[in-house]
Structure 1
Amino acid sequence: MDWGPKPFRSLDVWHKDSRFREFVRNKWLSYEGEDIHKRIHKLGAKDDESEFDEVGREKRKWLLSEQRRNNLTQKALFQQKARIKWLKQGDLNTKLRDKGQWYDEQGAVKDKVKEYFKDRFFGEARQSVKLDNVGFNKIIEEDNVLLVGRISEEEVKQAVWSCGSDKSLGPNGCNFGFIKLCWEEMKADIIRAVHDFEEEGI
């Protein structure tokens, strides 16, 4: 039975094999597939030039549907991973501190929250802070150019190298250790993906 493409796996122990880089280089450079975004753009260009038939329109419709499904799946995965990490490492938001004292009983927390907002909405009017004559710092034009300019290869590389080598962007096992080791083979595609995101937002 065909279960579809097998998920990618990269074990750190493979990185120590002297033949590994060459194997990755040959496989990576031999791949000639197109991602879903490029296929949509090509079909869209044909539609603009009135070179589309009904089959082509249906194909683009299906690709757009797949793209939306993939985006929703990725979003759900990131949300769940963020939630799991927060539950393990973050505050569970089940306690409240007021005037140096902690409250963790549900009824007490509710009462304190209610008391706080009651004071805010029905308490005496307080003089608000005015910022009319405050001179805020502004960035210089050179900094603005850097902020809105195209992301450079060096910036992408710094971002990759700032991540732990045992961390992964998804469940498929392609961790940052693999990306760092094979950076020369992969960087062109990674940077192209970053620039596509800058331009298309997807």
Structure 2
Amino acid sequence: MSIIRNEWGSMGYLNGQVSEKLKKLKGVLRKWNREERYTLDRRFNEIESRIRCLDEYSDVRDLFELELEELKILYLELRVFSRFKESIWRQKSRMTWLKVGDSNTTFFHRAVKFKAKRKTVYGMKIGNEWLSDPKVLKVKMFNFFRNHFSCHSRKWSMDLELNFKRLRDIDIASLERPFSMKEIKEAVWSCDENKAPGPDGFNLCFF
């Protein structure tokens, strides 16, 4: 953002010539991409390596509180990097069918594995008794739902009064008003950000 802001501000002599500004800006961004593209890959690999290390620890022992917090932060950071990386390749390939998160990466498998571990139920309190034996839990749960669904069914009756709401005259008039600048802006901002309105390659996300 700082590069774009500085370059755009330095082209004051081209005021009103948006297409010329975009041409010059494209050259600057290409140079930046050549210099910085490896930084993303390097940080991505560092995060993956650390997560892999913590996963190996979790297979042999319970992780410490600080390690769990670090793992949570790493997953969040990796998710941001993954979406950013996929967004770059989607724009480069010009393929609209590729959605963020569709790539079959090992990161998503690890995330599911970690989430499953955190959702594991080790015990349950039924009545005043705490149970942790799986066999006993299965019997208790089966008996609970069997008793619950074996109750006599009740016949319910309900009188429906369907008083539909009607639009007021002022609301009807608002539907026929010309579009405001705010509504137009909201419509443009809701467009697919990866679509480029012209052949120059600058998509709506950039603007």
Q: TM over 0.5: same fold?
A: no
Structure of greater Rg: 2
Per the normalisation by structure 1, the TM-score is 0.31
Per the normalisation by structure 2, the TM-score is 0.30
Structure number with greater CO (CA < 8 Å, separation at least 6) is 1
